Structure 1
Amino acid sequence: MSDNSALAGQKSDQKPDFPAGAPPPGLLALFLAFARMSLAGFGGVLVFARRAIVEQHRWMTADEFNETFALCHFLPGPNIVNLSMVFGSRLRGIAGGVAAFTGLLLPPTLIMMVLAIAYARFGELEVLRRILAGISCAAVGLLIAVVFRMMTPLLRRTDPLALILMLGVFLAIGVLRLPLQAVLLVAIPVSVGVTYFLRRKVTA
Protein backbone atom coordinates (compact mmCIF):
# COMPACT_ATOMS: atom_id res chain seq x y z
CA MET A 1 0.00 0.00 0.00
CA SER A 2 2.91 2.38 0.80
CA ASP A 3 4.49 2.01 -2.66
CA ASN A 4 1.24 2.86 -4.41
CA SER A 5 0.62 5.73 -1.99
CA ALA A 6 4.05 7.16 -2.83
CA LEU A 7 3.33 6.81 -6.53
CA ALA A 8 -0.02 8.49 -6.03
CA GLY A 9 1.67 11.27 -4.09
CA GLN A 10 3.95 11.97 -7.04
CA LYS A 11 0.94 12.21 -9.32
CA SER A 12 -0.82 14.61 -6.97
CA ASP A 13 1.56 17.43 -8.02
CA GLN A 14 -0.05 17.32 -11.45
CA LYS A 15 -3.50 18.23 -10.03
CA PRO A 16 -5.78 15.68 -11.66
CA ASP A 17 -8.69 16.90 -13.72
CA PHE A 18 -12.06 16.92 -12.01
CA PRO A 19 -15.21 16.40 -14.08
CA ALA A 20 -16.89 19.44 -12.54
CA GLY A 21 -13.78 21.63 -12.73
CA ALA A 22 -13.66 21.99 -8.94
CA PRO A 23 -10.32 22.44 -7.13
CA PRO A 24 -8.85 19.45 -5.27
CA PRO A 25 -10.27 19.10 -1.74
CA GLY A 26 -8.18 20.17 1.24
CA LEU A 27 -7.03 17.95 4.09
CA LEU A 28 -10.01 18.82 6.28
CA ALA A 29 -12.41 18.20 3.39
CA LEU A 30 -10.83 14.79 2.78
CA PHE A 31 -11.06 13.89 6.46
CA LEU A 32 -14.70 14.95 6.74
CA ALA A 33 -15.70 13.30 3.46
CA PHE A 34 -14.26 9.93 4.44
CA ALA A 35 -15.61 10.29 7.98
CA ARG A 36 -19.10 10.74 6.54
CA MET A 37 -18.57 7.73 4.30
CA SER A 38 -17.56 5.57 7.25
CA LEU A 39 -20.47 6.73 9.39
CA ALA A 40 -22.97 6.17 6.58
CA GLY A 41 -21.40 2.92 5.42
CA PHE A 42 -23.75 0.42 6.98
CA GLY A 43 -23.10 -2.87 5.21
CA GLY A 44 -19.86 -1.64 3.71
CA VAL A 45 -18.27 1.71 2.90
CA LEU A 46 -17.66 0.98 -0.80
CA VAL A 47 -21.24 1.89 -1.77
CA PHE A 48 -21.07 5.27 -0.07
CA ALA A 49 -17.47 5.92 -1.11
CA ARG A 50 -18.35 5.57 -4.77
CA ARG A 51 -21.46 7.71 -4.37
CA ALA A 52 -19.52 10.49 -2.61
CA ILE A 53 -16.42 10.44 -4.83
CA VAL A 54 -18.09 9.95 -8.22
CA GLU A 55 -21.63 11.31 -7.91
CA GLN A 56 -21.65 13.84 -5.08
CA HIS A 57 -18.23 15.56 -5.13
CA ARG A 58 -17.26 14.50 -8.68
CA TRP A 59 -13.66 14.02 -7.63
CA MET A 60 -13.36 11.05 -10.02
CA THR A 61 -15.13 9.74 -13.06
CA ALA A 62 -16.73 6.30 -12.91
CA ASP A 63 -13.88 4.84 -14.97
CA GLU A 64 -11.21 6.42 -12.75
CA PHE A 65 -12.90 5.05 -9.64
CA ASN A 66 -13.08 1.56 -11.14
CA GLU A 67 -9.41 1.66 -12.11
CA THR A 68 -8.32 2.91 -8.68
CA PHE A 69 -10.48 0.37 -6.89
CA ALA A 70 -9.15 -2.39 -9.13
CA LEU A 71 -5.60 -1.47 -8.09
CA CYS A 72 -6.59 -1.43 -4.40
CA HIS A 73 -8.45 -4.72 -4.78
CA PHE A 74 -5.25 -6.52 -5.74
CA LEU A 75 -3.28 -5.12 -2.78
CA PRO A 76 -3.18 -6.83 0.61
CA GLY A 77 -5.47 -5.42 3.27
CA PRO A 78 -9.02 -4.00 3.23
CA ASN A 79 -9.87 -2.59 -0.20
CA ILE A 80 -11.59 0.56 1.03
CA VAL A 81 -8.66 1.36 3.35
CA ASN A 82 -6.26 1.03 0.44
CA LEU A 83 -8.58 3.24 -1.61
CA SER A 84 -8.56 5.99 1.02
CA MET A 85 -4.75 6.08 1.07
CA VAL A 86 -4.33 5.98 -2.70
CA PHE A 87 -7.08 8.53 -3.33
CA GLY A 88 -5.96 10.95 -0.62
CA SER A 89 -2.31 10.69 -1.68
CA ARG A 90 -3.23 11.29 -5.28
CA LEU A 91 -4.84 14.62 -4.41
CA ARG A 92 -2.82 15.95 -1.47
CA GLY A 93 0.25 13.76 -1.15
CA ILE A 94 1.04 11.67 1.90
CA ALA A 95 -0.80 14.14 4.17
CA GLY A 96 -3.93 13.67 2.07
CA GLY A 97 -3.64 9.90 2.34
CA VAL A 98 -3.32 10.14 6.12
CA ALA A 99 -6.30 12.53 6.32
CA ALA A 100 -8.53 10.22 4.27
CA PHE A 101 -7.28 7.16 6.14
CA THR A 102 -7.93 8.75 9.55
CA GLY A 103 -11.36 10.00 8.55
CA LEU A 104 -12.29 6.55 7.32
CA LEU A 105 -11.17 4.59 10.39
CA LEU A 106 -11.41 6.88 13.43
CA PRO A 107 -15.22 7.33 13.73
CA PRO A 108 -16.18 3.64 13.23
CA THR A 109 -13.34 2.53 15.52
CA LEU A 110 -14.73 4.61 18.36
CA ILE A 111 -18.26 3.41 17.68
CA MET A 112 -17.24 -0.24 17.48
CA MET A 113 -15.46 0.00 20.81
CA VAL A 114 -18.73 1.08 22.42
CA LEU A 115 -20.76 -1.56 20.53
CA ALA A 116 -18.29 -4.30 21.44
CA ILE A 117 -18.78 -3.51 25.12
CA ALA A 118 -22.56 -3.55 24.64
CA TYR A 119 -22.47 -6.80 22.65
CA ALA A 120 -20.36 -8.51 25.29
CA ARG A 121 -23.12 -7.76 27.78
CA PHE A 122 -26.28 -8.17 25.66
CA GLY A 123 -25.11 -10.37 22.73
CA GLU A 124 -27.16 -13.39 23.80
CA LEU A 125 -30.49 -11.59 23.41
CA GLU A 126 -32.66 -13.07 20.64
CA VAL A 127 -33.89 -9.63 19.59
CA LEU A 128 -30.33 -8.50 18.91
CA ARG A 129 -29.62 -11.60 16.81
CA ARG A 130 -32.68 -10.90 14.64
CA ILE A 131 -31.59 -7.31 14.16
CA LEU A 132 -28.12 -8.43 13.03
CA ALA A 133 -29.67 -10.94 10.60
CA GLY A 134 -31.73 -8.16 9.03
CA ILE A 135 -28.70 -5.91 8.74
CA SER A 136 -26.77 -8.66 6.93
CA CYS A 137 -29.53 -8.89 4.29
CA ALA A 138 -29.35 -5.13 3.71
CA ALA A 139 -25.56 -5.34 3.44
CA VAL A 140 -25.80 -7.93 0.67
CA GLY A 141 -28.27 -5.74 -1.20
CA LEU A 142 -25.98 -2.72 -0.95
CA LEU A 143 -23.04 -4.74 -2.23
CA ILE A 144 -25.01 -6.01 -5.23
CA ALA A 145 -26.14 -2.46 -6.01
CA VAL A 146 -22.60 -1.05 -6.11
CA VAL A 147 -21.37 -3.98 -8.21
CA PHE A 148 -23.94 -3.16 -10.89
CA ARG A 149 -23.02 0.53 -10.75
CA MET A 150 -19.34 -0.29 -11.23
CA MET A 151 -20.21 -2.57 -14.14
CA THR A 152 -22.08 0.22 -15.96
CA PRO A 153 -19.00 1.84 -17.61
CA LEU A 154 -17.88 -1.55 -18.94
CA LEU A 155 -21.33 -2.32 -20.30
CA ARG A 156 -21.62 1.10 -21.95
CA ARG A 157 -18.34 0.58 -23.79
CA THR A 158 -19.64 -2.79 -25.00
CA ASP A 159 -16.11 -4.15 -24.89
CA PRO A 160 -16.55 -7.91 -25.40
CA LEU A 161 -13.02 -8.80 -24.24
CA ALA A 162 -13.44 -6.92 -20.96
CA LEU A 163 -16.76 -8.62 -20.35
CA ILE A 164 -15.27 -12.04 -21.14
CA LEU A 165 -12.39 -11.44 -18.70
CA MET A 166 -14.79 -10.26 -16.02
CA LEU A 167 -17.02 -13.29 -16.52
CA GLY A 168 -14.02 -15.63 -16.56
CA VAL A 169 -12.70 -14.35 -13.22
CA PHE A 170 -16.18 -14.59 -11.72
CA LEU A 171 -16.57 -18.19 -12.84
CA ALA A 172 -13.08 -19.16 -11.72
CA ILE A 173 -13.44 -17.73 -8.21
CA GLY A 174 -17.18 -17.72 -7.57
CA VAL A 175 -18.22 -20.99 -9.25
CA LEU A 176 -15.15 -23.20 -9.62
CA ARG A 177 -13.70 -22.05 -6.27
CA LEU A 178 -10.17 -21.81 -7.67
CA PRO A 179 -7.50 -20.23 -5.43
CA LEU A 180 -7.60 -16.44 -5.62
CA GLN A 181 -3.81 -16.11 -5.99
CA ALA A 182 -3.71 -18.53 -8.93
CA VAL A 183 -6.56 -16.74 -10.70
CA LEU A 184 -4.91 -13.35 -10.24
CA LEU A 185 -1.57 -14.61 -11.56
CA VAL A 186 -3.35 -15.44 -14.81
CA ALA A 187 -6.01 -12.72 -14.95
CA ILE A 188 -3.78 -9.70 -14.29
CA PRO A 189 -1.21 -10.28 -17.08
CA VAL A 190 -3.96 -11.24 -19.52
CA SER A 191 -6.06 -8.16 -18.75
CA VAL A 192 -3.02 -5.85 -18.94
CA GLY A 193 -1.97 -7.39 -22.23
CA VAL A 194 -5.43 -7.14 -23.74
CA THR A 195 -5.82 -3.51 -22.63
CA TYR A 196 -2.40 -2.59 -24.04
CA PHE A 197 -3.19 -4.28 -27.34
CA LEU A 198 -6.56 -2.58 -27.69
CA ARG A 199 -5.26 0.90 -26.86
CA ARG A 200 -2.33 0.46 -29.24
CA LYS A 201 -4.74 -0.64 -31.94
CA VAL A 202 -6.92 2.45 -31.40
CA THR A 203 -4.01 4.89 -31.48
CA ALA A 204 -2.45 3.23 -34.52
Structure 2
Amino acid sequence: MSEDSPPAAQEPDITAVHTPPPSLAELFVAFARMSLAGFGGVLVFARRAIVDRHRWMTADEFNETFALCHFLPGPNIVNLSMVFGSRLRGIAGGVAAFTGLLLPPTLIMTVLAIIYARFGDVEVLRRILAGISCAAVGLLIAVVFRMMTPLLKRMEASALILMVSVFLAIGVLRLA
Protein backbone atom coordinates (compact mmCIF):
# COMPACT_ATOMS: atom_id res chain seq x y z
CA MET A 1 0.00 0.00 0.00
CA SER A 2 1.43 3.38 -0.97
CA GLU A 3 1.47 6.46 1.22
CA ASP A 4 -1.30 8.02 -0.92
CA SER A 5 -3.77 5.18 -0.50
CA PRO A 6 -6.45 5.44 2.15
CA PRO A 7 -6.00 3.47 5.36
CA ALA A 8 -7.58 0.04 5.53
CA ALA A 9 -11.10 0.03 6.89
CA GLN A 10 -11.22 -0.83 10.55
CA GLU A 11 -13.58 -3.43 11.88
CA PRO A 12 -16.60 -1.82 13.49
CA ASP A 13 -16.46 -1.58 17.27
CA ILE A 14 -19.52 -3.51 18.40
CA THR A 15 -19.31 -1.82 21.80
CA ALA A 16 -19.68 1.59 20.13
CA VAL A 17 -23.46 1.14 19.96
CA HIS A 18 -24.89 3.13 22.85
CA THR A 19 -28.21 2.34 24.45
CA PRO A 20 -30.52 5.07 25.78
CA PRO A 21 -29.32 6.65 29.04
CA PRO A 22 -30.48 4.78 32.14
CA SER A 23 -33.00 6.16 34.59
CA LEU A 24 -31.89 7.17 38.08
CA ALA A 25 -33.28 3.90 39.45
CA GLU A 26 -31.40 1.89 36.80
CA LEU A 27 -28.17 3.71 37.71
CA PHE A 28 -28.70 2.98 41.40
CA VAL A 29 -29.48 -0.70 40.80
CA ALA A 30 -26.60 -1.18 38.34
CA PHE A 31 -24.05 0.27 40.75
CA ALA A 32 -25.59 -1.57 43.71
CA ARG A 33 -25.20 -4.86 41.78
CA MET A 34 -21.59 -3.97 40.96
CA SER A 35 -20.81 -3.22 44.59
CA LEU A 36 -22.42 -6.43 45.81
CA ALA A 37 -20.60 -8.58 43.25
CA GLY A 38 -17.21 -6.95 43.71
CA PHE A 39 -15.52 -8.35 46.82
CA GLY A 40 -12.10 -6.70 46.95
CA GLY A 41 -12.79 -4.43 44.00
CA VAL A 42 -15.65 -3.33 41.80
CA LEU A 43 -13.67 -2.34 38.71
CA VAL A 44 -14.12 -5.75 37.07
CA PHE A 45 -17.88 -5.62 37.46
CA ALA A 46 -18.13 -1.92 36.61
CA ARG A 47 -16.45 -2.39 33.24
CA ARG A 48 -18.48 -5.50 32.47
CA ALA A 49 -21.78 -3.79 33.32
CA ILE A 50 -21.11 -0.38 31.77
CA VAL A 51 -19.37 -1.52 28.56
CA ASP A 52 -20.40 -5.11 27.86
CA ARG A 53 -23.86 -5.61 29.35
CA HIS A 54 -25.58 -2.21 29.20
CA ARG A 55 -23.42 -0.60 26.47
CA TRP A 56 -23.65 2.76 28.16
CA MET A 57 -20.04 3.49 27.10
CA THR A 58 -17.55 2.11 24.62
CA ALA A 59 -14.36 0.44 25.86
CA ASP A 60 -12.37 3.52 24.87
CA GLU A 61 -14.78 5.88 26.66
CA PHE A 62 -14.58 3.72 29.78
CA ASN A 63 -10.77 3.71 29.71
CA GLU A 64 -10.66 7.49 29.23
CA THR A 65 -13.17 8.09 32.03
CA PHE A 66 -11.33 5.72 34.34
CA ALA A 67 -8.04 7.46 33.53
CA LEU A 68 -9.65 10.80 34.47
CA CYS A 69 -10.77 9.28 37.77
CA HIS A 70 -7.14 8.50 38.64
CA PHE A 71 -6.42 12.24 38.71
CA LEU A 72 -9.33 13.06 41.00
CA PRO A 73 -8.89 12.75 44.78
CA GLY A 74 -10.49 9.72 46.39
CA PRO A 75 -11.06 6.09 45.42
CA ASN A 76 -11.14 5.57 41.65
CA ILE A 77 -14.35 3.53 41.55
CA VAL A 78 -16.20 6.11 43.67
CA ASN A 79 -14.98 8.82 41.30
CA LEU A 80 -16.09 6.67 38.36
CA SER A 81 -19.60 6.35 39.79
CA MET A 82 -19.89 10.12 40.21
CA VAL A 83 -18.36 11.01 36.83
CA PHE A 84 -20.32 8.34 34.96
CA GLY A 85 -23.66 9.05 36.65
CA SER A 86 -23.23 12.81 36.20
CA ARG A 87 -22.33 12.35 32.55
CA LEU A 88 -25.55 10.45 31.85
CA ARG A 89 -28.07 12.07 34.21
CA GLY A 90 -26.48 15.16 35.72
CA ILE A 91 -25.83 15.61 39.43
CA ALA A 92 -28.81 13.40 40.34
CA GLY A 93 -27.30 10.60 38.23
CA GLY A 94 -23.98 10.98 40.01
CA VAL A 95 -25.68 10.78 43.39
CA ALA A 96 -27.76 7.74 42.32
CA ALA A 97 -24.69 5.85 41.08
CA PHE A 98 -22.63 6.88 44.13
CA THR A 99 -25.39 5.83 46.55
CA GLY A 100 -25.91 2.54 44.73
CA LEU A 101 -22.19 1.86 44.92
CA LEU A 102 -21.76 2.63 48.63
CA LEU A 103 -25.04 1.96 50.45
CA PRO A 104 -25.39 -1.85 50.07
CA PRO A 105 -21.81 -2.75 51.06
CA THR A 106 -21.89 -0.26 53.94
CA LEU A 107 -24.98 -1.91 55.38
CA ILE A 108 -23.55 -5.41 54.83
CA MET A 109 -20.17 -4.53 56.36
CA THR A 110 -21.86 -3.06 59.42
CA VAL A 111 -23.71 -6.33 60.00
CA LEU A 112 -20.59 -8.42 59.25
CA ALA A 113 -18.48 -6.33 61.64
CA ILE A 114 -20.92 -7.08 64.42
CA ILE A 115 -20.81 -10.80 63.58
CA TYR A 116 -17.00 -10.83 63.19
CA ALA A 117 -16.55 -9.16 66.58
CA ARG A 118 -18.29 -12.16 68.09
CA PHE A 119 -17.02 -15.05 65.89
CA GLY A 120 -13.78 -13.70 64.32
CA ASP A 121 -11.52 -16.31 65.86
CA VAL A 122 -13.17 -19.23 64.01
CA GLU A 123 -10.56 -20.86 61.68
CA VAL A 124 -13.08 -21.82 58.97
CA LEU A 125 -14.08 -18.17 58.62
CA ARG A 126 -10.45 -17.12 58.18
CA ARG A 127 -9.91 -19.70 55.42
CA ILE A 128 -13.05 -18.66 53.57
CA LEU A 129 -11.93 -15.02 53.58
CA ALA A 130 -8.47 -16.02 52.28
CA GLY A 131 -10.06 -17.91 49.37
CA ILE A 132 -12.32 -15.01 48.47
CA SER A 133 -9.30 -12.69 48.46
CA CYS A 134 -7.50 -14.93 45.93
CA ALA A 135 -10.54 -14.90 43.64
CA ALA A 136 -10.67 -11.09 43.79
CA VAL A 137 -7.03 -10.85 42.69
CA GLY A 138 -7.74 -13.12 39.71
CA LEU A 139 -10.68 -10.97 38.65
CA LEU A 140 -8.57 -7.82 38.89
CA ILE A 141 -5.87 -9.32 36.66
CA ALA A 142 -8.53 -10.29 34.11
CA VAL A 143 -9.93 -6.76 33.89
CA VAL A 144 -6.44 -5.28 33.51
CA PHE A 145 -5.93 -7.40 30.41
CA ARG A 146 -9.36 -6.47 29.04
CA MET A 147 -8.63 -2.77 29.54
CA MET A 148 -5.18 -3.12 27.96
CA THR A 149 -6.45 -4.70 24.72
CA PRO A 150 -7.76 -1.51 23.04
CA LEU A 151 -4.71 0.40 24.24
CA LEU A 152 -2.26 -2.15 22.83
CA LYS A 153 -3.90 -1.99 19.39
CA ARG A 154 -2.87 1.64 18.93
CA MET A 155 0.30 1.68 21.02
CA GLU A 156 3.81 2.15 19.66
CA ALA A 157 6.63 -0.23 20.58
CA SER A 158 8.37 2.40 22.73
CA ALA A 159 5.23 2.89 24.84
CA LEU A 160 4.88 -0.88 25.28
CA ILE A 161 8.52 -1.15 26.40
CA LEU A 162 7.97 1.69 28.88
CA MET A 163 4.82 0.04 30.25
CA VAL A 164 6.57 -3.32 30.76
CA SER A 165 9.59 -1.60 32.33
CA VAL A 166 7.45 0.30 34.83
CA PHE A 167 5.56 -2.90 35.71
CA LEU A 168 8.82 -4.78 36.31
CA ALA A 169 10.34 -1.94 38.33
CA ILE A 170 7.34 -1.45 40.59
CA GLY A 171 5.58 -4.81 40.58
CA VAL A 172 8.54 -7.19 40.56
CA LEU A 173 11.60 -5.30 41.81
CA ARG A 174 9.60 -3.15 44.29
CA LEU A 175 11.54 0.01 43.42
CA ALA A 176 8.70 2.36 44.31
Distance in 2 of aligned mates of 1:168 and 1:75: 25
TM-score (norm 2): 0.84
1:88 to 71, 80, 85: 85
Q: Please give the per-residue CA displacement for 1:126-175, whole angstroms capped at 9, x wherever unaligned.
A: 11111111111111111111111111111222432442343344244333
Offset, 1:91: 1.0
Aligned equivalent of 1:22: 19
1:154–1:163 Cα contact (<8 Å) kept = no
Aligned residue number for residue 155 of structure 1: 152
Q: 1:123 to 1:113 in 2, by over 3 A?
A: same
Contact map agreement 1:30 1:96 (CA 8 A) in 2: yes
1:154–1:162 contact (8 Å) kept in structure 2: no
Q: Judge which range, 148-157 or 105-114, deviates more.
A: 148-157
How many Å separate the matches in 2 of 1:120 and 1:95?
Answer: 37
Structure 2, unpaired ranges of 5+: 1-14
Counterpart contact for 1:44–1:143, Cα < 8 Å: yes
Matched position secondary structure for 2:16 = coil
**In structure 2, what residue type is equivalent to 1:111?**
I
Structure 1 counterpart of 2:10: none
| Structure 1 unaligned spans of 5+ | 1-17, 179-204
- CA–CA separation in structure 1 for the residues paired with 2:158 and 2:27: 36
Match of 1:144 in 2: 141
Q: Mapping of 1:3-42 within 5 angstroms? A: 19-42=16-39
Please give the alpha-carbon distance, in whole angstroms, between the structure 2 residues aligned to 1:169 and 1:81: 26
Q: Percent identity?
A: 84
Residue of structure 1 in register with 2:103 after alignment = 106
Please give the alpha-carbon distance, in whole angstroms, between the structure 2 residues aligned to 1:145 and 1:56. Answer: 17
- For residues 171 and 131 of structure 1, do their structure 2 counterparts lie closer, same or farther at Cα, with a shift above 3 Å needed? same
Instruction: Tell whether the 8 Å contact from 2:31 to 2:97 is kept in structure 1 after alignment.
Output: yes
Give the equivalent residue in structure 1 for 2:119: 122
Query: In the TM superposition, what whole-angstrom CA distance separates every residue of 1:178-202 from its partner, at most 9, and x where no partner exists?
Result: 2xxxxxxxxxxxxxxxxxxxxxxxx
